[in-house]
Amino acid sequence: MGGRADIQLDVRVVCATHKDLEELVKQNKFREDLLFRLNVFPIQVPTLRERLDDIPEIVTHFLKDNSYVSANEAPFGFDKSGFEALTTYEWPGNIRELRNILERAKVFFPGQSINREQVTQTLLGFNQNAFFDHVEENENIWSVLDELGGAERGHEADERAPPTAKDFSRLFDSSNSVDVRRLLRDVEIVLIEKALERNAGNTSEAAKDLHLQRTTLIEKIKKYGL
């Protein structure tokens, strides 16, 4: 800009935005001359909520991607009611949110045909209680977890020592079985969420608190859709 001679370039510039640039120009928040230079061949891509009927095909396309299911994992899918639940959701997070939902489904429902209830309560609502088959068993397990640790009776709750690995064997005192994978996953999710909360979303500091590499923490955040 401001030069006296043309400079020949052999490049192609591709830009994307979810903002209304014309409106931003009116608000003096985006340069009008830059918009004119970029807006040579505009392509309007509808949001996911504007093409809900395409969701089954989009999901099928994503599930063909090997990154969703590795060789040692059971593939998953959605039954008719599951797809209906997906197509009645408004998808404020657009296609990224759909990808997160599929990542979550891979973790929670391997090898299953996911139905409406599982979609609404677990994948969209992320209701962790839905991971347990029996509410009564769930309540018994977590009530025992509340008592784990090294505190003596009469001590304040915030003075309790955290439970040791051996303490978890007491879960069998109130239940005949314990879903180890679900329990460890839930504990990991809670600790990651708390670490992120106490560090205002700073993944580097949260990773230090969790004794994890930052890249490992980021992968877990993606994995659980946090």
What is the tens place of the pLDDT at every residue in 161-179? 666 767 677 767 666 676 7
Compute how many other C-beta atoms are within 10 angstroms of the C-beta atom of residue 163.
17
Mean pLDDT of 198-220: 88
pTM, whole model, 2 decimals? 0.47
Q: What's the pLDDT score for residue 26?
A: 93
Cβ atoms of 128 and 186 within 8 Å: the answer is yes
Where are the strands (E) in the chain, listed by range?
77-78, 113-114
pLDDT digits (tens, 9 = 90+) for 180-200: 777 778 888 888 988 898 888
pLDDT of 153 > 60? The answer is no
CA-to-CA separations, 40 to 13, 31, 35, 36, in angstroms, rounded: 10, 15, 9, 7
Among 3-12, 88-97, 110-119, 134-143, the range scoring the smallest mean pLDDT is: 134-143
Q: What are phi and psi for residue 113, nearest 5 degrees?
A: -100, 105
Mean pLDDT of 131-137: 44
